[in-house]
Amino acid sequence: MNKINVEQFKAMIRSGCANLENHAAEINTLNVFPVPDGDTGTNMSMTFSNGYSEAMKCSSDSISDVAKAFSRGLLMGARGNSGVITSQIFRGFYQHIEGKSEIETADISQAFENGARVAYKAILKPVEGTILTVIREASWYANHDFETEPFEIETYFDKLVRYSAESLERTPEYLPVLKEVGVVDSGGAGLLKILEGFKAYIDGNPIDFAEKKEEAEAVNPALLLDNEEFGYCTEFIIRLDENIVKTFDEKVLKKKLNDMGGESLVVVKDEDLVKVHVHTLKPGDALNIGQRYGEFVKLKIENMQEQHSTIIASAGTEPKKKEEPKKVKEPQKYGIVAVAAGEGVTQLFYDLGTDIVVSGGQTMNPSTEDFVKVCNELDNCENIFIFPNNSNIILAAKQTQSVLSDRNIFVIETKSVQAGLSAVGMFNKQGEIEDIITDLNDVISNVDASSVTYAIKDTVFDGVEVKEGDYIAIAGKSIISSGKERKKVVLQLLDKLFENDEKELITLIVGEDKDDREVAEIESYINENSDLECEIIDGGQPVYSYLIGLE
């Protein structure tokens, strides 16, 4: 093959999109921390799907126009750091082929090299051992080979995929933490799936979207929906029938939930109680399966797009929709946008003066388009401050500044909800921009963020052995403790935090799976074993039982 025309280009994008989507859940598991918010595969797939959708809408017979639409779609749909970097790679690709109706091997080779350059420039502090390394090394070696001895497009993609795979395998050499946990970079793995999809089309074997995945690693219900829907987070606790307790097998229940299309599965048995967490498009089916084993002690269904929880009495009850905040009409000097999940946390951000809270956080990272939309709603605000409250959301938020270049948008790099709440609470709407930014950064630097969640896989990290289903305590970038008793894990984390005698306030943001008695006991432990002022917030956030801020 000597050239690629516009229809072939579209088909190539489709094959790459399908291959990425089909392996999204598998890529999600390549997470350093064994926590249930490893969503690189989901973020990249949703980003790429948005680009693919825009490319398909373009009716031009010029590859340049389609590549431009594709690049724009990727930018607007960019979610998470890897999603943003992916959008920049193909932004650079488009820039190099601009004005061309067809492209040859030389065009493709140089376009990918330019994509690597643009992606590196977009990141303030590029980190090697990531998707950036994979695209840089693979595109350079492939282009070097072509310039040494030119070849056709099929050979180019053979080399690009091979060099990408080799570079991906080397990522743990750049980042020791990957080697310690035994994984490669998840963003690089996602890029490889895209390129493998491209190659499959070029070789005459295009990859199609899987209608139904047989294994849990290959399914992600969120990817099968329109942008407005992402399924339901379904949780329930069953008291097993006495005739089933001794013979109950967690693996059997997992398989049944998996076969019905369940994702993010966690099944934990404790004596005669079984706790189930599953993401599904049909929560009623999950409840029907669970009910065969015994009686419900507790159940909850949360619409993951709305990011709010409602306790329901039966499987057929729809979650209540939360009333949207009213659009601000009065002219304002400053507007505040924050990202949060959980009704309590969301309400607290509003109480502290936030104008719009974007639904999302540790899971289901908002896209650039989500931020653009809310900034447009605040068209009466002279200056807009965005608080991402998660390190994986910062890049997507920053893309808003380039999309809305005519607006005064400032992204405050809050990497946790704890830091975000402290910063928004100290926002001085009467101050000048430079002073506000300085003060906010001072506040953020004073907040130490920790959390307690559950493990989704077995691993060893920082010398701490973690088993799937265990509770784990995380402080900064370290796992402090792991175990089956949540309270014990929390107290071990607190003992570690108490070692810092320079802090004065500790804030516990309690998740949706709260136990009031446990919370009271933890509060007493803090009061008895430290001089810290303690504040308890009913956050209602998913995934994380406790978010702890120390300042």
Lowest mean pLDDT among 225-234, 269-278, 419-428, 504-513: 225-234
Range with the lowest mean pLDDT among 130-139, 206-215, 466-475? 206-215
More confident residue, 251 or 264: 251
Rounded CA gap, 450 and 412, in Å? 20
**pLDDT beyond 90 at 85:** yes
Residues 137-163 have pLDDT tens digits of: 999 999 999 999 999 999 999 999 999
Reference 433, options 410, 449, 456; nearest CA is 410
Write down the pLDDT at residue 358.
93
Using the predicted structure, report yes or no on whether residue 516 has a pLDDT greater than 60: yes
Output the pLDDT for position 502: 87
Q: What mean pLDDT do residues 332-355 have? A: 93
Between 262 and 319, whose confidence is greater? 262
What is the arithmetic mean of pLDDT over 482-503? 92
Residue 198 pLDDT more than 90? Answer: yes
- Mean pLDDT across the stretch 353-367? 85
pLDDT, position 219: 36
Work out the average pLDDT over 151-179. Answer: 94
> Does the pTM exceed 0.75?
no
Whether the predicted pLDDT of 298 surpasses 80: no
pLDDT higher than threshold 60 for residue 216: no
Contacts of 501 (CB under 8 A, 6+ apart): none
Name the more confident of 414 and 80. Answer: 414
Residue 309 CB neighbour total at 10 angstroms: 22
Work out the burial of residue 85: count CB atoms within 10 Å of its CB; fewer than 13 is exposed, 13-18 middle, 19 or more buried.
Answer: buried
Within 13 Å, how many C-alpha atoms sit on residue 424's CB side? 33
Torsion of CA 374, 380, 381, 386, to 10 degrees: 0
Q: What is the dihedral of CA 173, 177, 415, 17, to 10 degrees?
A: 60
Tens of pLDDT, residue by residue over 7-22, are 999 999 999 999 999 9
**Amino acid 224: pLDDT:** 35
Q: Is the per-residue pLDDT at 382 higher than 50?
A: yes
- What pLDDT is recorded for position 321? 46
Indicate if the pLDDT at residue 405 is higher than 50.
Answer: yes
CA distances from 541 to 106, 173, 343, 417, 514 (A): 50, 36, 7, 10, 10
Closest of 54, 42, 117 to residue 85, by C-alpha: 117
Backbone φ, ψ for residue 71 (5° rounding): -60, -45
Determine the pLDDT at residue 158: 97
Average pLDDT over residues 208-219: 56
